Chain A
């Protein structure tokens, strides 16, 4: 890697880290300017990330011809290295499968701190740092009066550092380390107002649920080491150019048909990675922490729980795309979990009255969409998921920051039933929030429309495999409606149908011809069901989003007492990020889709350029029929929301009346929290009580007994000392008598 690029790449995590450390050291002394080091660090990182993205974009070319993988790595130092010969003799560092065929018994355990630059990393770095910058600037206004002002900025900068390192690390163990680091930053930010018991409880819950996912990731790392003998993504070469280690996602292994292990071990690894992603990205059944995480400050929610940390799971699955494609059962499960979560969360979101909770469930639902798209296993699916990640980051951060603006003006009240008609009070917030809602609902030409369209297209392609490569598709593509959006003529493999390619790729060495067990999920029937679920969810998304918009911003103006006196538009430092994000939500989708920049750019990522994934490429097209279906669902949702909540009806319990007992089920979040409390939390608390009792009575009792022994002995001996002269004399005489008797006994 050229040293200038390496320097720039190292600067991206380094500048926020320096900002965080500077804030910790100087924060108290800087007073109201404590935000400067952190904001400067993140701004620098954002500029550098943008430079890297543009430079890499030039490198990957302009999309003509089959994409060739582009990656650059730079190794900073070796964090851990154990030579095989010195490993005590009994340690096994063997690899089961190596690309050169023979299992080499002497392999060195090495964890280099290597940063990588490829299209996926560059895209995510830009998203992380720019959203981070906007959130940090916004927080200058939002956290203005908070006594923990420097701590907040230190944490935000530390988070940007950890997340940047997570996406830039080129080694599974490093990813694990920074996976934990972002979890720790999330805990500290959710529990920012730690004196509030709900916040402390929510932070603990988030951390514990994340831990379950982290366990999955740890076991996956162990299995990866055992299977592949290395934990690096990239290939390591000796100075003379020979291959030393083939990375798990390196080009040497990916180019080899038998490089990625499938079968039971491969499926196990993928299921564990899915567990980790579910924990971090709040999918079923580990979604329970995200709504409670809204106890943290709203900018933290915008950064972490909307745009960045929760996308770490998406990143992991996208990065490990070749591994998942080799285990089609696990891949289909990803889609099933994602779509189910999307529908589930959307249903719950319709009944929420707290604006931030609506957005939290919306986040869970949209992350479910991304997983649904990832699980299709096609190049379209993977790129659509990342595209949706980018657009979702823009509009969800916008929505959260807008909710924060509302909360700031309403004096901390966020229950939508207590305020209304705020568009007269806060016009900029209302306008930007509307833009964000339109993007979320998937209304053209805002960002969400294009990304959601691509996701629906990828699900449709798996559900109806023949429909996309018959003559119908060619006509639809060549016709006028789609023409303006796609390139003039398709290149490459249009004739290759999707379904046979899947059969070819899915047949990994150890598998039988007839799919069984988990692999039975990987069928068009499943994806048809998932497609309809996704369509219904799109309608529900539009519904609950616009229900929130109408309840908050339309109708008669009502202001709660807590805000009396300072219900006004937010200061410029808060509204400018809102406007920037609104512009991005409007334009990003159009631009990235229209020029197909993102799809072809991402296709140059080694994981996605692997033949197993890249062979599923279809020419980019605008699917008018799907776009119409999506728009229809969105329009229906918005119309229903208007009927229920627009204008004068913006504060009433329409949803409760309409849905009745079903509504109670949704409002209580399907009783999942109660289920977990009964099955997991209470038994564990019982075990903890038993253990505490044992500790107090048995262990402490034993220690206290040992400590009490000298006292007891002393108490007995003490009675000899009575203060009476004659008793002392008697004691002395008795002692002498005993000695004389003993002597006499000896001498008899």
Chain B
């Protein structure tokens, strides 16, 4: 059978997904994006499992994928709760905001080379209002049928 190229492609896709997820989780600092990359890693593994299951003709692989998806969903719930709590505590979604578990004699990692924050509020152009306001049914304004 010439299913081999198919398995190869499947494994390749899975590997690419996994690699992208891995690099993302290591490189990005936004907690939600880090979570998304973790999900991406899981999906990469799932694709690889499907490919192998197709290769060996064993449904077990695809059943494991169902488990993986279930676990990913539960983990998503917990992870997003953690991210929300982290945001509530520090007001930032930056992973680098949490450094208090470092060794006591190491300095805090501070970002360098950041662009200076804008001190001046951006000036938006003021456009002359043009056109006609749409007609409004008074009755409908007061008593809307649908929200």
Chain A residues within CB distance 8 Å of chain B: 718-719, 721-726, 729-730, 733
Judge if B84 is at the interface, Cβ distance under 8 Å: no
Nearest-Cβ distance from residue A271 to partner chain B, whole angstroms: 69
Complex Cα–Cα for A724 and B109 (A): 8
Is B25 in contact with A729, judged by CB distance below 8 angstroms? yes
Which residues of A have CB within 8 Å of B29? 726
Q: Which residue of the partner chain A has the closest CB to B108?
A: A723
The answer to whether residues A723 and B100 also contact, given A718-B106, A730-B26, A733-B26 and a CB cut-off of 8 A, is yes
Is B99 in contact with A719, judged by CB distance below 8 angstroms? no
Nearest-Cβ distance from residue A373 to partner chain B, whole angstroms: 81
Is B103 in contact with A726, judged by CB distance below 8 angstroms? no
A-B contact pairs, 11 of them (CB 8 A): A718-B103, A718-B106, A719-B103, A721-B102, A722-B103, A723-B102, A724-B98, A724-B99, A726-B27, A730-B26, A733-B26
Is B99 in contact with A723, judged by CB distance below 8 angstroms? yes
Complex Cα–Cα for A721 and B109 (A): 12
Is B106 in contact with A733, judged by CB distance below 8 angstroms? no
Is B26 in contact with A729, judged by CB distance below 8 angstroms? yes
Which residues of B have CB within 8 Å of A726? 25-27, 29, 34, 95
Complex Cα–Cα for A721 and B101 (A): 8
Interface residue tally on B, bucketed by range: 10 to 19
Q: Which residue of the partner chain B has the closest CB to A725?
A: B95
Which residues of B have CB within 8 Å of A730? 26
Contact with A along B14-39 (1 / 0, CB 8 A): 00000000100111010000100000
Is A718 in contact with B105, judged by CB distance below 8 angstroms? yes
> Which residues in chain B, 97-120, are within 8 Å of chain A measured between CB atoms?
98-103, 105-106, 109
Complex Cα–Cα for A136 and B141 (A): 126
Is A722 in contact with B26, judged by CB distance below 8 angstroms? no
Q: Which residue of the partner chain A has the closest CB to B107?
A: A722
Judge if B63 is at the interface, Cβ distance under 8 Å: no
Q: Out of B22, B25, B27, B106, name the residue touching A719 (CB < 8 Å).
A: B106
Judge if B96 is at the interface, Cβ distance under 8 Å: yes
Which residues of B have CB within 8 Å of A724? 95-96, 98-99, 102, 109
Nearest-Cβ distance from residue A240 to partner chain B, whole angstroms: 86
Which residues of A have CB within 8 Å of B22? 733
Nearest-Cβ distance from residue A729 to partner chain B, whole angstroms: 6
* Main SS at interface, chain B: loop
Which residues of A have CB within 8 Å of B26? 726, 729-730, 733
Is A722 in contact with B105, judged by CB distance below 8 angstroms? no
Nearest-Cβ distance from residue B22 to partner chain A, whole angstroms: 7
Pairs A-B, 10 closest by C-beta atoms: A723-B102, A723-B99, A723-B101, A718-B103, A721-B103, A722-B102, A725-B95, A730-B26, A726-B26, A726-B95
Which residues of A have CB within 8 Å of B101? 721, 723
Nearest-Cβ distance from residue B100 to partner chain A, whole angstroms: 6
Nearest-Cβ distance from residue A733 to partner chain B, whole angstroms: 7
Complex Cα–Cα for A142 and B99 (A): 77
Complex Cα–Cα for A722 and B101 (A): 7
**Sample of 15 more A-B contacts, CB < 8 Å, known A724-B99, A726-B34, A726-B95:** A718-B103, A719-B106, A721-B101, A721-B102, A721-B103, A722-B99, A722-B106, A722-B109, A723-B99, A723-B101, A723-B106, A724-B96, A726-B26, A730-B26, A733-B26
Complex Cα–Cα for A733 and B26 (A): 9
Nearest-Cβ distance from residue A728 to partner chain B, whole angstroms: 9
Q: Which residue of the partner chain B has the closest CB to A722?
A: B102
Nearest-Cβ distance from residue A372 to partner chain B, whole angstroms: 78
Q: Out of B98, B103, B105, B106, name the residue touching A725 (CB < 8 Å).
A: B98
Which residues of A have CB within 8 Å of B95? 724-726
Nearest-Cβ distance from residue B65 to partner chain A, whole angstroms: 22
Which residues of B have CB within 8 Å of A722? 99, 102-103, 106, 109
Complex Cα–Cα for A722 and B107 (A): 8
Complex Cα–Cα for A363 and B103 (A): 75
Which residues of A have CB within 8 Å of B99? 722-724
Which residues of B have CB within 8 Å of A725? 95, 98
Nearest-Cβ distance from residue A555 to partner chain B, whole angstroms: 80
Complex Cα–Cα for A729 and B26 (A): 7
Complex Cα–Cα for A718 and B98 (A): 18
Complex Cα–Cα for A469 and B5 (A): 140
Nearest-Cβ distance from residue A264 to partner chain B, whole angstroms: 74
Nearest-Cβ distance from residue A714 to partner chain B, whole angstroms: 10
Q: Which residue of the partner chain A has the closest CB to B29?
A: A726
Nearest-Cβ distance from residue B30 to partner chain A, whole angstroms: 11
Contact with A along B73-104 (1 / 0, CB 8 A): 00000000000000000000001101111110
Which residues of A have CB within 8 Å of B27? 726
Which residues of B have CB within 8 Å of A719? 103, 106
Complex Cα–Cα for A729 and B35 (A): 13
